[in-house]
Structures are given as C-alpha cells and as structure tokens.
C-alpha cells in the first residue's frame, strides 16, 4: 500500500497544498506550509513549472520539514528539481505532452537520483486539461496534445492508459490561474472507468467548487495559487471535502 492509499483509507478524501519554490523564500514557504498543516492539509507538494535550481528546492523542503510533520511530496518539472530531502516524489509522465522530455528523458535522468537518495516514488499519470481561453503557465512552457474542456473521450482514454500501465494515480491539471476547473462531467466519466485515485488541481478557488469535484469522483484536491494569494480558503476547502 502506498502513501496515498494509506491516507485515503484514513481520511476518505484528501487535500494537498502545492508550494512553488520560485514564488517565495524558503522561510516563507515553511510558514505557509505550517498554516496549511494547521488547517488540515494531508501533504505538502513542492514544485512548479519553471523551477530549475536544486538548491532552492532543497532549502524550501528543509524549511517546510522544520515547520510541519505531514509528508512532503516532490512535484518536479525535471530531474534538476529532484531533491534528496523529500519524503516522496510523484514519478510522473506528462501523458499528453508532445515532447519526449516530459514522457521519458527527464524521468531517465532523475531515476538514479531517486534511487540513490531513497526517495519513495509514487508513479503518476499527469494530464493537462485546457480549461482557459488564455494559456496557463504550463501551456506556455510545454507543447501539448491539447485536451479541451469538452473532450471527455480523450481524457478518459488517457486515464485508462495510466491505470493499465500500472500508475498509482492520475493528476488532472487545469493549470496555475486556470479560468475554470476540470469539468464535473469529465471527472464523472473518468471515475466510472478507472479505480486508481484521481487528483484534481487548477481553478479550485472555494469550498463549493472543491466539494463538486469530490462528489464527481476526485479523491484529492490540490491548491497552489491559494497558498500564495488566499490561504485561509484552504481551511474551508478541507473542512468541506472531509465532512
């Protein structure tokens, strides 16, 4: 049983707080993580689309672990963002990327580091859904086979592929500052086809929306922008999805 299964067995629905090392100092990251843990978040994810400096990642995780006891999970954009002091790592493929870099190359570079530093991997299928008129940060930085907000069939196909290739979970990502979250209809369709946990992030700005997502089939809600702009909403989201 992996850490996500253990947490789901205990809490039924989970909340992860995503902290981008590029968005604040390590000390500030630790303080934000402490608030999120106080509100009840189940894990702290560390990563971002533009993170390149391993030392910044290391220092951010170090500060976070000084402030909280919840698990730290790396969410790296490349092998350069892998840090030895994380508890876990989402060892993931960006399934709808057009670039080999995000399908296998960075994973091959990072695998020896994960093994050397004994970071526990969580195999994950990462799927970016285009829900906004304006490109999100990840859409600006990565060439994608775009999955539009109404392309439910394609999203389901990628999700089934992830499960059939042995991934522990999928992460449906609308992107940082997404105008809309992942549609409920898409989540329901995916949930009806797969059994592995579904993580959902991007565009979830309040407790009502978060509750809609878990009711539609999401197991884990991720908030990133809220940790920077409106951290108090995380308390409401956690209380609502775990009630």
Q: What is the full DSSP assignment across the chain?
A: --HHHHHHHHHSSEEEEEE-GGGS-HHHHHHHHHHHHHHT-SEEEE--TT---HHHHHHHHHHHHHH--S-EEE--SSGGG--TT-SEEEEEEETTBSSHIIIIIHHHHHHHHHHHTTPEEEEEEEEE-B--SS--HHHHHS-B---BTT-HHHHHHHHHHHHHTT-SEEEEE--TT-SS---HHHHHHHHTT--S-EEEESS--SHHHHHHHHHHT-SEEEESHHHHH-TTHHHHHHHHHT-
**Contact between residue 144 and residue 128 where contact means Cβ atoms under 8 Å apart:** yes
For residue 134, the model assigns a pLDDT of 87
Q: Is pLDDT at 177 greater than 90 in this prediction? A: no
- What's the rounded mean pLDDT across residues 106-132? 97
Q: What is the mean pLDDT of the chain?
A: 95
79/230: higher pLDDT? 79
For residue 167, the model assigns a pLDDT of 98
Q: Is pLDDT at 104 greater than 90 in this prediction? A: yes
pLDDT classification of 243: cutoffs 50, 70, 90? confident
**Contact between residue 41 and residue 15 where contact means Cβ atoms under 8 Å apart:** yes
Cβ neighbour number for residue 37 with a 10 Å cutoff: 18
For residue 174, the model assigns a pLDDT of 94
231: exposed, middle or buried (Cβ count in 10 Å: 0-12, 13-18, 19+): middle
pTM: 0.96
Q: Is pLDDT at 51 greater than 90 in this prediction? A: no
Tokens encoding 233: 């909403």
Q: Is pLDDT at 235 greater than 90 in this prediction? A: yes
What's the total number of domains in the chain? Answer: 1
For residue 146, the model assigns a pLDDT of 95
Residue-wise pLDDT tens digits, 145-171: 999 999 999 999 999 999 999 999 999
CATH number where 139 lies: 3.20.20.390
Q: Return d(Cα 160, Cα 154) in angstroms, integer.
A: 10
Q: Is pLDDT at 50 greater than 90 in this prediction? A: no
Q: Return d(Cα 48, Cα 121) in angstroms, integer.
A: 18
pLDDT classification of 30: cutoffs 50, 70, 90? very high
pLDDT classification of 132: cutoffs 50, 70, 90? confident
Q: Is pLDDT at 215 greater than 90 in this prediction? A: yes
For residue 176, the model assigns a pLDDT of 78
Structural domain containing residue 230 = 3-241
């Amino acid at each position: 049983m992996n850490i996500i299964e253990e947490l789901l067995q205990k809490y039924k629905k989970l909340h992860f707080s995503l902290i981008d090392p590029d968005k604040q100092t390590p000390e500030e990251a630790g303080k934000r993580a402490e608030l999120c843990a106080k509100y009840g978040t189940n894990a702290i994810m560390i990563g971002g689309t533009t993170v390149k400096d391993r030392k910044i990642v290391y220092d951010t995780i170090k500060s976070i672990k000084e402030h909280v006891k919840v698990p730290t999970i790396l969410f790296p954009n490349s092998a350069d963002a892998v840090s030895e002091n994380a508890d876990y790592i989402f060892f993931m493929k960006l399934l709808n990327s057009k670039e080999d870099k995000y399908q296998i190359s960075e994973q091959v570079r990072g695998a020896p580091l994960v093994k050397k530093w004994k970071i526990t991997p969580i195999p994950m299928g990462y799927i970016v859904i285009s829900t906004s008129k304006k490109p999100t940060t990840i859409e600006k930085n990565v060439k994608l086979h775009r999955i539009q907000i109404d392309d439910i069939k394609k999203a389901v196909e990628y999700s089934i592929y992830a499960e059939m290739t042995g991934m522990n979970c999928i992460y449906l990502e609308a992107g940082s500052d997404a105008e809309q979250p992942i549609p409920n209809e898409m989540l329901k369709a995916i949930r009806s086809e797969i059994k592995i946990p579904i993580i959902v992030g991007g565009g979830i700005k309040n407790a009502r929306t978060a509750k809609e997502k878990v009711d539609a089939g999401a197991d884990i809600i991720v908030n990133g922008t809220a940790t920077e702009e409106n951290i108090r909403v995380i308390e409401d989201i956690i209380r609502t999805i775990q009630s």
